[in-house]
Amino acid sequence: MDAWLAGIAYHLPEHVLTNAQLGGEHPEWEMEKLGPRIGIASRHVASPGECASDLAFHAANHLLDGLGIRRADVDFLLFCTQSPDYLLPTTACLLQDRLGLSTSCGALDYNLGCSGYPYGLALAKGLVAGGVVRNVLLLTGETYSRLLHPDDRSVRPIFGDGASASWITAAPGGARIGACSFGTDGAGAGSLIVREGGSRGEPRRPRGARHEQGGGDLFMDGMELIRFCLKRVPEVVEQNLRAAGLSTEDVDRFVLHQANSLMTGRLRSKLGLDLARAPDYVEAVGNTVSATIPIVLCEASAPFRPGERVMLVGFGVGLSWAACLLDWQRPTMVGRAPTPPSPESPPAPLA
Amino acid sequence: MKATEAEILEVFAEALEVEASSLRPERALADVPEWDSIAWLTLISMVDERWHLVLGAAEIKGFVTVSDVSGHLLAQLHQKVG
């Protein structure tokens, strides 16, 4: 049995942080020069109390309503996040209830970042193609803005918050999920990490607007990540082509994780691709971690034609990377959920 | 693949988005405001594309002057050819 990606929607928090605002806070960052080089002009930032699950909730509602899917037809909910509501339970359980999904629905979180979307498609494909379930709701959502030190120029201009929702089903017609390829190198774990708050690290210390930068903040070793991307992305593209018995020329489009446009530009150049074959969508949203690929698909896939082959490539924190091939037919890009979303106050913290 | 010092300086200047003539060998990188994480990324990827050599983080962090960059690359590329 095949698994099909039938549709995608996404949601961004209402609050927008522009380069001019960042430059106002930090004139020494030279945002007027930095912005064009990273290809990011603004990013959306979650408000205090707004969780990744809230963003994913709105993306999911927009998708299910847009596709006309009954909540009872969701057999399995996968939620990719590194910003869970609680240490436990898994946030997907809370979303099952909040979205009004059946209690016979399976639900789990998985903790991945920028590689999370192709991983999610691969997991959903396994469930559907294996005959385990018929329909999977795949959500990705992050609020990395909470983890960024306000004075860290290496991360703050890059990351934005956002969430995506995708529908993977046994019913044909969208984009058939083809070969999936993976990679992992835990030896590089320290190059993108929040050290505090887990079982092995220090307990998480309080972070405020003026706290000293430390292990509770996202640490990124930019140079190591550059080396990682330049090495692993071409490798996994090749691995995925081999798995499908294809060559680069056989793949019409490539959708790369939108780390920033400097990185995607270098990768395009290394892979011999142009913007038409490997479109970007990062200027207005920044790097939204596991939501970048579905956002590009929503915003930049209009030129994709039925019958084209599309390769999705995610890479980042872990270190972890993955590629996934799609046979593009007629998936529905439901697009961005309205902002502000339909009035519904987020749930109060559980007592 | 062979490279001359002038070619290396040209690539370095392009990565920094400055005139190659401004990159005197003895100039300290600490005095080059354009030498930031974006320039690192650009330099690493340009050197990789042009000469199939991926510079390491420790190597980049060890560069103090312009001539450290060109000298290191000349040696690495020479080694690669040899």
Cβ neighbours of A262 in B, within 8 Å: 38, 41-42
Closest-CA residue to A2 (of A139, A179, A138, A137): A179
Whole-angstrom distance, CA of residue A155 vs CA of residue A113: 15
A124 interfaces chain B, CB cutoff of 8 Å: no
Cβ neighbours of B38 in A, within 8 Å: 34, 37-38, 262
C-alpha distances in Å from residue B53, one per residue of A3, A221, B7, B34, B43: 40, 20, 15, 22, 11
Averaged pLDDT for residues A105-129: 98
Whole-angstrom distance, CA of residue A75 vs CA of residue A77: 7
Taking the CA of residue B32 and the nearest CA in chain A, the distance in Å comes to 15
pLDDT digit string, tens, across residues A246-300: 999 999 999 999 999 999 999 999 999 999 999 999 999 999 999 999 999 999 9
Asked if residue A188 lies in contact with residue A228, where contact means CB atoms within 8 angstroms, the answer is yes
Indicate if the pLDDT at residue A2 is higher than 60: yes
CB contact under 8 A, B41 and A269: no
Alpha-carbon dihedral sign for residues A332, A336, A340, A344: positive
The closest CB to that of B48, out of A222, A230, A262, belongs to A230
Asked if residue A145 lies in contact with residue A50, where contact means CB atoms within 8 angstroms, the answer is no
Asked if residue A128 lies in contact with residue A152, where contact means CB atoms within 8 angstroms, the answer is no
**CA quadruple B13, B17, B23, B26: dihedral, nearest 10:** -100
CB contact under 8 A, B44 and A224: no
Averaged pLDDT for residues A192-202: 93
Nearest residue of B to residue A231, measured between CA atoms = B54
The closest CB to that of A227, out of B42, B44, B49, belongs to B44
Averaged pLDDT for residues A123-140: 98
Whole-angstrom distance, CA of residue B64 vs CA of residue B46: 20
Q: What are phi and psi of A328, to 5 degrees?
A: -75, 120
C-alpha distances in Å from residue A195, one per residue of A168, A188, A218, A219: 34, 14, 8, 8
Indicate if the pLDDT at residue A63 is higher than 70: yes
Nearest residue of B to residue A269, measured between CA atoms = B49
| pLDDT score at B49 | 85
Cβ neighbours of A231 in B, within 8 Å: 54
Indicate if the pLDDT at residue A46 is higher than 90: yes
pLDDT digit string, tens, across residues B39-72: 888 898 889 888 988 888 888 889 999 999 999 9
How does residue A343 score in pLDDT terms, banded at 50, 70 and 90?
Answer: low
| pLDDT score at B57 | 81
- Which residues make Cβ contacts (< 8 Å) with residue A114, sequence separation at least 6? A257, A259, A287, A289, A290, A292, A314, A315, A316, A317, A320
Residue with more model confidence, A342 or B5: B5
Average pLDDT, chain A: 95
The pairing of strands A76-80 and A42-44 is: unpaired
- Residue A114 is a catalytic residue: yes
CA A108-A114-A118 angle, 5° bins: 65
Express as a percent the part of chain A with pLDDT over 90.
88
pLDDT digit string, tens, across residues A29-41: 989 989 998 999 9
CB contact under 8 A, A223 and B40: yes
Asked if residue A307 lies in contact with residue A328, where contact means CB atoms within 8 angstroms, the answer is yes
Asked if residue A334 lies in contact with residue A7, where contact means CB atoms within 8 angstroms, the answer is yes
Whole-angstrom distance, CA of residue A91 vs CA of residue A106: 12
- Residue A257 is a catalytic residue: yes
How does residue A210 score in pLDDT terms, banded at 50, 70 and 90?
Answer: confident
Averaged pLDDT for residues B12-19: 91
pTM beyond 0.80: the answer is: yes
Q: Please name the amino acid found at residue A117.
A: Y
